[in-house]
Structure 1
Amino acid sequence: MSGSGSGTRTVTVIGAGTIGLGWIALFLGHGLRVRVNSRRADAPAHVNEALELLSPFLPEGTADPATFAARLEFEPDLERAVAGADVVVENAPENLELKQELFERIGKAARPDALLLSSTSTLNPDDMGARMADSGRLVVGHPFNPPHVVPLVEVVAGERTSAEAVQEAVAFFESVSRVPIVLRKPILAFAANRLQSALLRESVHLVREGVVTLEELDRVVTHSIGLRWATIGPFLAFHLGGGTGGLRKWLTTLGAGLESGWELLGRPPMDDETIHSLIEQAEQAYGAMSYEELVRARDTKQTAILRTLARTDRAT
């Protein structure tokens, strides 16, 4: 993936929804030229409002938001938007037919050496690129929301994806301070969302059964496993739980009954009653704050954690 003639790479972001907006802010913060392709008539105003909300929470050391406007442009025509771009990042709705059409057009209009990325959380690169003459440069780069704050990006290749494209995707995400993890095999919903879904299922079960309220469940997580997982993953946590014997000791003592414990986990039906109860409780718990206020509160705390961890890592 060669740089543009100006020396500054150009990234085309397709879609200005929640994920697209986070990418736009992150890429501008890292000095890239960003070309936005959106069907929204108010795309410039929409993006600029989002940048004002999101830019305070970009990684330390990123560019001054006052410089963003000079590197930001809008192009509603897809073919013109991707022409000449070094990287294309697609963030369209999770509709396979729509993405196949987009990548068919992108493949014809983009530079042959452009890196083509999709933020999809469910679809395989081979399926999305089925109508392309060559989908070898199409790679999934699935972020964890919000992408301008949370570092993880799951990099997923298809059978037709070239090894070079995967390497370039990893290098690109590292260049914008993300932590790319290449999945060793494609799996539906990838890794992070499967973990999140497993926790959400049991969360719904506990709330539905009246064990805790929705707000109390959130507090249980943020004051225990959420705090723990901000610093170490589940395997290291239980490795430490085994004391000096590590995971070997834990699995053969406290963890010996794991399978029987898994049998007790809930399988809550997502019927009308459950959905209504969850929505009602969420609105009671968080309805007093606007979306923008909740985003600022979330990103302030998450950014503080990341910056503290970075300082700790530098000191050790």
Structure 2
Amino acid sequence: MSRPDPKNVKRVACIGTGTIGGGFVAQFLCSGYDVAAYDPGKDARDFLERLLDQAWPVLEKVGLKPGASRSRLHFTQDIEEAVAGAEFVQESVPEDLELKVRMYEKLDELVPPQIVIGSSTAGFPMTDIQKRCKFPERTVVTHPVNPPYLIPLIEVVGGEKTDPAVLDWTVEFYEAVGKRVLRMEKEIYGFMINRLQVALFREALHMIAADRATVAQIDDCLTHGLGLRWACMGPFATFHLGAGDSGLRSLLDSYGTVDWCAPYVTESPLPDLTPELLDRILQQAQEVIDGRTISKMVDERNATIIGLLKLREASRVAASQKQ
């Protein structure tokens, strides 16, 4: 049997409905799919409903696709029932390699071999996850940015035994969902998103450990500075502009002869996270949190991202009209 048309998938199964898995549920529902969600957790259904209660008004502001409805959700604690008839399976169980390996063994038994199974793993290579699969060729990493229903980007990368045609299929599928797909040709631990954000976080920890910055100062540096700029362009485009008329080429040429980054780069990969340092970080973080609940912070984050996305799209439309 051939795979379903990636642009005409009607039913998806979400295995695991925590923060990421539940975010995928919201993404698929708002994109007009029938969604079967499975999670064996005692309070899993209540958690998912609360997540949808918070996400749905946000998605209505962004714009629902035709057919989008929360009534198209079917929650079950029977995994066989969840995957029955699914044309794509999105796995989002907790980040435990052995747990994921066992889950893929189970899905191998229940899901027809032509159906693609994607993993939202934050760091494990698919090569490690698919190692005991009977049909490893249909398995692929589909790593989102939290919250999956709001941030467009998703990373797609296969393992050693993944069929390249499955990567093609997955890219087409998630483009139909409405995602901006970043297809990676080679596996790396943590993929691109987490390697970049962890590198920045590591440097922030070093500055705090050396008592050269506080949590609030670092957050301000990003939310009121670099983050706003990065919403429009990445580091290479930024440095291209920063180099003046000569552009990125001159900057890279000078980089080859003068290590101008050296004064800023820490020597050790991670500072010693002593109890004292952890206490200092957490105490300073409370100043940033400022008594807000997680729910309140999620609402503020979502509203900000919506504003940025709409503003960026309006700017692109305005620029195209001038041409």
Give the TM-score taking structure 2 as reference length: 0.90
Which residues of 2 match residues 230-245 of structure 1 at below 5 A?
230-245=231-246
Does 2:101 match 1:100?
Answer: yes
Match of 2:62 among 60, 77, 82: 60
Q: 1:310 corresponds to which residue?
A: 313
Q: Which amino acid aligns with 1:83?
A: A
Q: 1:85 corresponds to which residue?
A: 86
Is this contact kept in 2: 1:155–1:182, CA < 8 A? Answer: yes
Q: 2:277 corresponds to which residue?
A: 274
Output the CA distance in 1 between the equivalents of 2:302 and 2:66. Answer: 18
Output the CA distance in 2 between the equivalents of 1:102 and 1:8. Answer: 23
Q: 2:259 corresponds to which residue?
A: 257
Aligned residues: 313
Does 2:32 match 1:31?
Answer: yes
Does 2:1 match 1:2?
Answer: no
Output the CA distance in 2 between the equivalents of 1:264 and 1:156. Answer: 30
Output the CA distance in 2 between the equivalents of 1:284 and 1:229. Answer: 25
Q: CA deviation at 1:195?
A: 0.7
Q: CA deviation at 1:265?
A: 6.0
Residue range with higher mean Cα deviation, 113-122 or 269-278: 269-278
Is this contact kept in 2: 1:57–1:148, CA < 8 A? Answer: no
Q: CA deviation at 1:178?
A: 1.1
Output the CA distance in 2 between the equivalents of 1:224 and 1:145. Answer: 21
Q: 2:50 corresponds to which residue?
A: 49
Match of 2:301 among 292, 298, 301: 298
Q: Which amino acid aligns with 1:272?
A: P
Partner of 1:147, secondary structure, is: coil
RMSD between aligned residues: 2.2
Partner of 2:37, secondary structure, is: strand
Partner of 1:224, secondary structure, is: helix
Q: 1:70 corresponds to which residue?
A: 71
Q: CA deviation at 1:271?
A: 2.1
Output the CA distance in 1 between the equivalents of 2:136 and 2:265. Answer: 42
Partner of 1:74, secondary structure, is: strand
Q: Which amino acid aligns with 1:238?
A: F
Q: CA deviation at 1:287?
A: 4.8
Q: CA deviation at 1:130?
A: 1.5
Distance 1:8 1:271, change over 3 A: same
Gaps of 5+ in 1: none
Partner of 2:137, secondary structure, is: coil
Of all paired residues, the percent bearing the same amino acid is 34
Q: 1:132 corresponds to which residue?
A: 133
Distance 1:170 1:119, change over 3 A: same
Does 2:289 match 1:289?
Answer: no
Listed one character per residue, the Cα deviations across residues 40-64 of structure 1 (whole Å, up to 9, x for unaligned) are: 2333332221111112333733148
Q: CA deviation at 1:286?
A: 0.7
Partner of 1:161, secondary structure, is: coil
Partner of 2:259, secondary structure, is: helix
Q: 2:201 corresponds to which residue?
A: 200
Q: Which amino acid aligns with 2:150?
A: V
Output the CA distance in 2 between the equivalents of 1:168 and 1:197. Answer: 30
Is this contact kept in 2: 1:144–1:152, CA < 8 A? Answer: yes
Q: 1:156 corresponds to which residue?
A: 157
Partner of 1:85, secondary structure, is: coil
Q: CA deviation at 1:273?
A: 1.7
Q: Which amino acid aligns with 1:286?
A: I
Q: Which amino acid aligns with 1:13?
A: C
Output the CA distance in 2 between the equivalents of 1:30 and 1:264. Answer: 44
Output the CA distance in 1 between the equivalents of 2:308 and 2:230. Answer: 12
Q: CA deviation at 1:253?
A: 4.4
Gaps of 5+ in 2: none
Partner of 2:296, secondary structure, is: helix
Is this contact kept in 2: 1:89–1:119, CA < 8 A? Answer: yes
Is this contact kept in 2: 1:92–1:99, CA < 8 A? Answer: yes
Distance 1:279 1:263, change over 3 A: closer
